[in-house]
């Protein structure tokens, strides 16, 4: 398990708060970020970090995965339900 920090961000990129969770891997982060977006309707996106490593940004209309030293990968939109 590793500690992941989820930052609730505004459109301008500022973070009003954060929550930390122990997750099994990076693969668990998108579902948790989607849940946080559903719980915080004023949040534009969730930025996820593991220590000093960016994991992903989950925007309301897309998921951006950022692996270290690699270009960002944008996934298909997901809808809140």
pTM for the full predicted model: 0.77
Q: At a CB cut-off of 8 Å and minimum separation 6, what does 56 contact?
A: 26, 29, 30, 33, 47, 48, 63, 64, 65, 66
48-73 confidence digits (pLDDT tens): 999 999 999 999 887 776 554 554 55
pLDDT at 64: 77
- State yes or no: pLDDT of 18 exceeds 50: yes
């Amino acid at each position: 398990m590793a500690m992941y920090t989820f930052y609730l961000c505004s459109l301008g990129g500022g973070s009003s708060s954060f929550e930390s969770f122990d997750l099994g891997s990076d693969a668990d982060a998108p579902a948790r970020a989607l849940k946080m977006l559903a719980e915080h309707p004023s949040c534009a996106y969730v930025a996820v970090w593991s220590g000093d490593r960016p994991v992903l940004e989950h925007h309301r209309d897309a998921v951006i995965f950022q692996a270290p030293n690699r270009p960002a990968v944008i996934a298909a939109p997901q809808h809140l339900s």
